[in-house]
Each structure stands twice: as structure tokens, then as C-alpha cells.
Amino acid sequence: MKLFPVRGGIHPDYRKDRTSELAIVALPLPKTLYLPLQQHIGAAAEPVVKAGDRVKKGQLLAQSGGVVSASVHAPTSGVISAIAELTAPHASGMPQPTILLEPDGHEEWAELPPGIPDPFSVDPNVIRARVAESGIVGMGGATFPSAVKLNLGSQHKLTTLLINGAECEPYLTCDDRVMREYAADVVDGARIMARALGTPKVVIGIEDNKPAAIKAITEAAQAYTDVEVISAPTQYPMGSERILVQLITGQETPAKKLTADLGVVVHNVATAKAVHEAVRFGRPLLARVVTVSGGAVAEPKNVLAPLGVMVSEIVAFCGGLKTPPKRIVNGGPMMGQPLPTLEVPVVKGMSGILALTAEETSEQPTQPCIRCGTCVTICPCGLVPVDMAAFIRKDHLDSAARIGVRDCVSCGSCSYVCPAHIPLVHYFNYAKGKLNALDREQRKTDHIGKLVESHNVRIEKQAAARKAAAAAAAAAAASANPENRAE
Amino acid sequence: MSVLNITKAAPFTHAPNTTQSIMLTVLLALAPATLFDAWLFGWPAIFMFILTVGFCLLLEAGCLILQNKPLTPSLTDGSVVLTGWLLAMSLPPYAPWWISLLGAIFAVVLAKQLFGGIGQNVFNPAMVGRVALLVSFPLQMTAWVKPSSAPGFVESLGITFGHASLDGISAASALGYVKTELSRGVPVSESVHHLPALSDMVLGIHPGSFGETSAILILLGGLFLMARKVISWHVPVSVIGTIVVLSGLASLADPARFAGPEFHLFAGATFLGAFFIATDYVTSPVSKQGQLVYGAGVGFFTWLIRTFAGYPEGMAFAVLLMNTLTPIIDHHIRPRAFGRTRKGEPLPVKGE
């Protein structure tokens, strides 16, 4: 396949070798699992169990709460001890409703929906329904409910399902290991998703710093003429959906549009594996592979962790922390979320747990911008970070929006290369949040304005009607009593 | 487990570069040409160089103290040393101490600190220093000397701090010589034959500013900066390309009036300007497209001033002129955003 040049990009220090050769190891069951109702983008799931209920492995605990939502299942058998507010794995440290499950150690399976023996002959809707009821979300970190994304074929003319195995974030090796150890499952899941989408072709894109994964997937895909494996140049952010689509199509996804408008839908490799298990065996999403790494971790590992296990327990499984970390990160170091504490549960979108030392984060005091222009050169979105940051510093958010701050994908490349250590992405996240809040405010004001206007019109109409009625009544009275008029 | 400081957004990793490392790389790139010229011109040039850099450091420190600002990192980030270094490169090698001092005042106090310090200056500080000196003290600023005149240490002290005469060793720069001869009616095509051999010009063995003479070492320094990704090819290629094209066309049209490209490349500060002056981060555009426009402007004005104006060398003026346009270039020439047209509209979807 012909590959096209992509815009911008950087070559960070990848530091993947600490875990890339370590096979996935399963985490022993902990004492308690903490399952947040919101592990995805969209509406929170609604619990269908209550404290004291005995549940089996794979049983539904919380039902998808809307069109864009995802269900939560029991990762093992046990007893629901409570449904409580618990710190979410998010930078804010805010609590959110969470189901607490105490495993009984029996791993007793619930009655699962039957596997679909030949998914390529069933109606695509059957596949989508199975993916939806299995609680599968985008496992690369975006956590968008996969079933919704598998429905894009109904509104767009699709040509290609692009499976994202780029894994361009430094440190992370979970997708690499999944591709090596479950290559056949990934390829099968990808072909099932292509069936659901109605795309004739599957392309699996893997960065060329993962030769073993490329080899494994190529071998697994050999039997299928509709699957092509491409070796993508190693360059951050190659795993960005739009960049990867540009690599294979040569086209930029237009602003405010989806890659589906170019006929391409992108799903992550771990999502493909989850779809394989849901469709072939009826197993919902119960666990995921997490890369535990960083200089502060004693024994970095790729861990197969049940959803809901405390991050602190996984870290303990990896030998604990050998030095106090400077940062604890959920995800990769480029785009991950800082974690407020280790006492948060593993969720569906958690690809990595990094405990980074001060040398690794290399944080330094911010110095004045010297306008070196490196941020402009490397920005994959073609923006001018230096100018956007200057506007945002002066709170000129409109100007920042005019030169495209909303197009920023927060990939972190500009902050990474800035010699003055200016936290550019921090500025842009602030501006995007503030602009969205202003938009909401504006919509609210507009809405209230319209309500007031229609209210006034209604009052006027009522007043006019009353006046007319009074006049009519007066006229009627006058005509009934003509003497009065004479006076 | 204590609550970690979570105020900062990702990324939580950083490239090993800093402002200081960039400045030190530029200084390293300047070192070979500087050492060569120190050897070529001897003690007075070494005194001038040390004084210029020293005055710049002292004045920067003074300004910071007056503003109640901390001395580090401003003083240690290498930027003021670079300013002083480039200013020294652009001064006549035997300039007296007070030229160094005045130049440092113009460069550091007026052009840099009064505008707000590093990153805030509109004009290239070293070039402000040079141009202010050139228009104020044309005599001292064009007192070129023959290379390898190399007076002794004590005699050199006299040149730098006293009133020692340069009569015995003075010489004209190539650009100045051709311009003077032209004003006397000697065609360029003839006067260029009286210049030092082209090989000497390339190596740097000819009269000129302290740091500009060795085109080859400056070029090597510039290529080193490109290899280290401190600068890109855009500004140097655009500056040099414009000068070559303009001088080439003009000399083809009238060889008696206009000097050819090889003269323009090696006679003055073309390489120093293209690789080290016009590439100054703060005062040049941030986008590659903008840098091409900027470089072409610098090349155009340099050639124009050298060819038609009263001064033999135009690089410093050209850089300052284009500095004034940098904010406008940055405003109007932006990269095309991903998924958008040049005007900022979303790209059309095929088949719609």
C-alpha cells in the first residue's frame, strides 16, 4: 500500500524497551473491585444490582444509560457490597458513583449470550447489538462506545476499517503485546468489525518500532485477502486518528468532519480483540491489558487487570514504587491524565499506569518564549502555538479561537519540544474549556432571550385579547342599552 | 500516598533542549570563525571581543538589578553572550574600547532590555548596536586593517585603550573598495581584479569586520546549526538565494556597473548574516513560509543597499528593515491548519 506523508510530528524518547519484551501477566483477584458507572464518553450507566446481591462473572451490573453509553459487567463472581461515591481516575479527583464488588474467588460464569459461529453471514445489526451489550468502548483511551462507532456505515459510504496499532505514546506496550500474543484474535475482531461497518477492506497500521507485532499480525492476516498490514513510520502522534488516516489516504479529514467522511473508520487493536471475544464467545469486556511502567516502578510489567482493581494494587503487584514518583499518569506521558492518587480503579480506557521520576518528567521552570518557532514546525494540526499561547495569556480567547485553538488535539508535541518549557497544551486546554463554557453560556442566554421574547409576545397577545374582549363586551352592553349612549 | 501536584496538564516528558542549550550550540558554531579571526587580527581584536562580550554581560546584569529581576536565568541562558558575540563579530577588529561600550549600550540596554528582555525585542540587538555605531561613528566603524598585521601585546593595548594610529596597517574592505572605485568612475568589472584572490576571500584572509571574513568557517558553523536542528534551511537559503539571483541577473545585464554573485557571497557579511543574524529567533518570523519571505527581503535589501546606497555593506540595515516586518509577516503568513483551507474554512468533503 502506498503511504502518504503526514504533517508535523516529533520523535520523543520512547522508553518502550522496559516492558516491550515482557509477556502479559494476569493480576490475581483483589479483595474488592471498584467499578465506576462512567468509564466511557457519554451518559453514565445505570445500576441494575443493589448492595447484597450475589453476582456471577460476566453478569450485567449497570445498564447502558442512553444511545451513547456503555454497560458495566462483573469481572468475576462475588457479592455487591455497596454502590458508593468514590474518587474517579481523573485529574480532578472528583468522586463518582461506583459499584463495589467483593470477589468470592470461584470465578463462576454467568450464563453468557451464545457465541455467533459465523459473524460474516449474520446481519450487521446483530454484531452491533452484541458489541453494545458487551460494554465495549474504544480502548486506546478515547473510550467512545464502540457500537455507536460501528454504526457509521449507515450514514457514510465507507471503504476502509483502519485498525490503529500505532501505539505512538512512549512507554506504552500494551497494544504491542496484545498484537503479538493475540494476533489471530485481533485480526478476527477486525474482520468482524468490518462486517458490522460494511467496509470491504481492513488496514492494520503498526509503527515500525514494533517489528514483532508487525510480523505476528502479518502472519495472522495472511489467510485473508481483505486484510492489509502496514508498517507506519515511527513518529508521534502517528496514532492520532486523523494522522493515521492521512498516512493511508493522503487526505486530511476536513475540520468539523469525521474520518468517516473520507470513508475510513478507525478502531484500536485492543477494541478488536474485545469484539472478537464478545462476538465469538459472548464474553463482555471484563479486563484489559495495562502497561505499568516508569522509573519509579520497581518491576515494570504488562498486566492483564480485571476492570475495577485499584491502581495501588497493580503497582504493588509490580513490586511497588522504588522511589517517590514526581507524577502518576493514567495513559501515556504525552496525552495521559495526571492521577491525584493511586487509590483509583482501573477503567476501560486505562492503557498505562506510569509512575515517573523527576528526571523522566524533566519539568523545569518556565522561561520567556524566544520565538524559536519549533512549535509551529512540529504542530501536526498546522497551528501556531506560540501565538495562541500569547493570546491566551492576555485572555484574548476570541483571538486564540480565530487562529484555531479549537482545532488543537492536545497531542502535547509543542509542550514537549519547547526549549523555554512553556506548558503550551495547558494553556490550550484552559482556553478550550473556557470557550466551551462561554458557548454554553451564550446558548443559554440566547435560549432565555427567546423564551422572554415569546413570553412577551404571549402577554401582549393576551392583553390584546382581553382588550378586544372588553371592547366587545362594552359594545354589546352599549347596543343593549342605547339610552346610556344618549347621555 | 500523598496527593501529588496535579496542576499541570500532559505531557509529562520533555525533550532535552533548553534555551541555554540552544544558545550554547550557536556559540559553539561561531567558535571556529572567531578563533580564526582572533589569529588573523591578533591582540587588538581579542581585546575588542572580550570587551564587547564583557560590557554586554555587565549591562544586562545592571539592567536586571535596576528592574529588581533575578540575575538567573537571564544572565546564564547564553542569550546576552550571543548578542555580545555577534556584535563583536560585526565590529572592525581594531575598534577602540568605547566603541565596544557604546555598541553594548545600544544592543543590550536600548534594543533588548528596554523592550522587556529576552524574547520581547523587536530588533536584532547586535544589529541595532552595529548600525547605531555605524551611523554615529562612520570613521571608526570603517577603520579596516590588513589581516595578519598582528601588533604586539603592549602595542595592542594602545590600539584598544589609547589613540594609536592605524595608518600603517589600514586597508579597505572589498565592498568599500569596489564602491569607492565605482564612485571614481572605475567600472566594477575592473576594480574586482584588485581585490584579494577569491581563495583568500573564501578563507577569510582579507580586511573586514572581526567575524565576517572567513566565509568558509561561517558556512561550516551554519551547516552545523542546521545539522543540530537549531536553524532550518529556510532563512539562509532564501537570503543567499535572493542575493545570488539579483546580483547574477544584474551583473549579466551590466558587468561594468554590477558585481557578480561570487563577489557578493564572499566580500561582506553574507554568510554571517544569512546563517547567524537573520536566523535570530526573536526577530524573525516563526513559520517556515514566513521565514522564506523574510529571508528574501533581507537578501533583497542587502543587495539593494550594497549596490545603490551610500553604505558599502547593507546586511545590518536589511535585517533591521525586515525586523519591522516580522510581526506583519507572522500575522499574514500562517501555516494552513490541518483539514482547513488557507482561509481557515473546513476543506470540502469529496462528493459533496
Residue in B with minimal Cα distance to A411: B11
Give the residue ranges of DSSP H helices in A137-240.
Answer: 146-149, 174-181, 183-197, 211-221
> How far apart, in whole angstroms, are the C-alpha atoms of residue B258 and residue B294?
24
**A242, A338, A361 ranked by CB distance to B13: nearest:** A361
pLDDT, residue A64, reads 92
* Residue A433 touches partner B, C-beta closer than 8 Å: no
Longest dimension (CA), chain A: 110
Neighbouring CB atoms inside 10 A of B98's CB total 14
The alpha carbon of residue B305 is apart from the nearest alpha carbon of chain A, in Å, by 28
pLDDT over 70 at B316, yes or no: yes
Lowest mean pLDDT among A310-319, B20-29, B251-260: B251-260
B12: which chain A residues are within 8 Å (Cβ-Cβ)?
A: 327, 329, 333, 336, 338, 354, 356, 360-361, 363
> What are the structural domain ranges in chain A?
25-288
Q: Do B337 and A372 touch (CB under 8 A)?
A: no
pLDDT digits (tens, 9 = 90+) for B139-189: 889 888 887 667 888 888 888 887 766 766 777 888 888 888 888 888 888
* Residue B249 touches partner A, C-beta closer than 8 Å: no
pLDDT over 90 at A16, yes or no: yes
* Residue A334 touches partner B, C-beta closer than 8 Å: yes
* Residue B154 touches partner A, C-beta closer than 8 Å: no
pLDDT, residue A283, reads 96
Average pLDDT, chain A: 93
* Residue A394 touches partner B, C-beta closer than 8 Å: no
B350: which chain A residues are within 8 Å (Cβ-Cβ)?
A: 251, 262
Q: Do A341 and B17 touch (CB under 8 A)?
A: no
pLDDT digits (tens, 9 = 90+) for A453-464: 999 999 999 999
Query: Are the C-beta atoms of residues B61 and B50 closer than 8 Å to each other?
Result: no
The alpha carbon of residue A399 is apart from the nearest alpha carbon of chain B, in Å, by 12
Q: Do B6 and A339 touch (CB under 8 A)?
A: yes
**A12, A328, A423 ranked by CB distance to B8: nearest:** A423
Q: Do B21 and A12 touch (CB under 8 A)?
A: no
The alpha carbon of residue B1 is apart from the nearest alpha carbon of chain A, in Å, by 7
pLDDT, residue B3, reads 35
Confidence category of residue A148, pLDDT binned at 50, 70, 90? very high
* Residue A385 touches partner B, C-beta closer than 8 Å: no
**B11, B16, B338 ranked by CB distance to A333: nearest:** B11
Q: Do A362 and B16 touch (CB under 8 A)?
A: yes
pLDDT, residue B151, reads 80
* Residue A358 touches partner B, C-beta closer than 8 Å: no
Q: Do A256 and B119 touch (CB under 8 A)?
A: no
B347: which chain A residues are within 8 Å (Cβ-Cβ)?
A: 252, 254-255
pLDDT digits (tens, 9 = 90+) for B71-87: 988 899 999 999 999 99
User: Hey, what's the cell of B337?
Assistant: 491548519
pLDDT, residue A169, reads 96
The three-class DSSP label of residue A71 is coil
Q: Do A254 and B117 touch (CB under 8 A)?
A: no
pLDDT, residue A487, reads 44
**Per-window interface: A 308-327 vs B, CB < 8 A:** 312, 325-327
Q: Do B336 and A421 touch (CB under 8 A)?
A: no
Confidence category of residue A92, pLDDT binned at 50, 70, 90? confident
Q: Do B15 and A10 touch (CB under 8 A)?
A: yes
* Residue B6 touches partner A, C-beta closer than 8 Å: yes
Contacts 24+ apart (CB under 8 A), B16-20: B16/A362, B17/A417, B17/A419, B18/A364, B18/A367, B18/A419, B18/A420, B18/A421, B19/A367, B19/A370, B19/A419, B19/A420, B19/B73, B19/B77, B19/B78, B19/B79, B19/B118, B20/B73, B20/B76, B20/B77, B20/B78
> What pairing do the DSSP bridges indicate for beta strands A201-207 and A227-232?
parallel
**Which of B229, B97, B132 lies closest to A378 in space, CA to CA?**
B229
Which is more confident, B93 or A483? B93
Query: Are the C-beta atoms of residues A179 and A165 closer than 8 Å to each other?
Result: yes
Does domain B19-330 sit in CATH 1.10.3910? no
* Residue B8 touches partner A, C-beta closer than 8 Å: yes
Give the residue ranges of DSSP H helices in B137-273.
Answer: 138-141, 153-161, 174-183, 188-191, 198-203, 215-227, 234-253, 261-267, 270-272
> How far apart, in whole angstroms, are the C-alpha atoms of residue A322 and residue A326?
12
**B10, B335, B347 ranked by CB distance to A333: nearest:** B10
Sign of CA dihedral A142, A143, A146, A148: negative
pLDDT, residue B4, reads 41
A376: which chain B residues are within 8 Å (Cβ-Cβ)?
A: 286-288, 335
Q: Do B335 and A379 touch (CB under 8 A)?
A: yes
- Rounded to an integer, the average pLDDT of A138-166 is 92
CA angle B237, B238, B241 (to 5 degrees): 75
- Residue of A416, A428, A432 to mutate for B, most B C-beta atoms under 10 A: A416
Average pLDDT, chain B: 90
pLDDT over 60 at A87, yes or no: yes
**Per-window interface: A 225-244 vs B, CB < 8 A:** 242
**Per-window interface: B 309-338 vs A, CB < 8 A:** 330, 334-338
Question: What share of chain A in percent tops pLDDT 90?
Answer: 90
Residue B252 C-beta-side C-alpha neighbours within 13 Å: 6
Q: Do B14 and A429 touch (CB under 8 A)?
A: no
Looking at mean pLDDT, say which of A337-346, A460-469, B294-303 comes out highest. Answer: B294-303
**Per-window interface: B 109-138 vs A, CB < 8 A:** 117-120
Confidence category of residue B231, pLDDT binned at 50, 70, 90? very high
> What are the structural domain ranges in chain B?
19-330
Confidence category of residue B30, pLDDT binned at 50, 70, 90? very high
* Residue B19 touches partner A, C-beta closer than 8 Å: yes
**Which of B149, B176, B173, B296 lies closest to B234 in space, CA to CA?**
B296
Question: What share of chain A in percent tops pLDDT 70?
Answer: 99
Starting from the edge strand earliest in sequence, which strands make up the sheet with A72-73, in order? A46-47, A60-63, A72-73
Confidence category of residue B1, pLDDT binned at 50, 70, 90? very low
- Residue of B75, B326, B338 to mutate for A, most A C-beta atoms under 10 A: B338
* Residue A170 touches partner B, C-beta closer than 8 Å: yes
A353: which chain B residues are within 8 Å (Cβ-Cβ)?
A: none
Residues in CB range of A164: below 8 A, 6 or more apart:
A140, A205, A239, A241, A244, A266, A267, A268, A269
* Residue A2 touches partner B, C-beta closer than 8 Å: no
- CATH class as words, domain A25-288: alpha beta
* Residue B77 touches partner A, C-beta closer than 8 Å: yes
Q: Do B14 and A343 touch (CB under 8 A)?
A: no
Q: Do B119 and A368 touch (CB under 8 A)?
A: yes
A331: which chain B residues are within 8 Å (Cβ-Cβ)?
A: 10
pLDDT over 90 at B68, yes or no: yes
pLDDT, residue B168, reads 65
* Residue A11 touches partner B, C-beta closer than 8 Å: no
Q: Do B119 and A371 touch (CB under 8 A)?
A: yes
Give ipTM to 2 decimals.
0.89
Sign of CA dihedral A468, A470, A473, A474: negative
pLDDT, residue A126, reads 94
Phi, psi at residue A96, to the nearest 5°? -150, 155
**B281, B339, B350 ranked by CB distance to A371: nearest:** B281
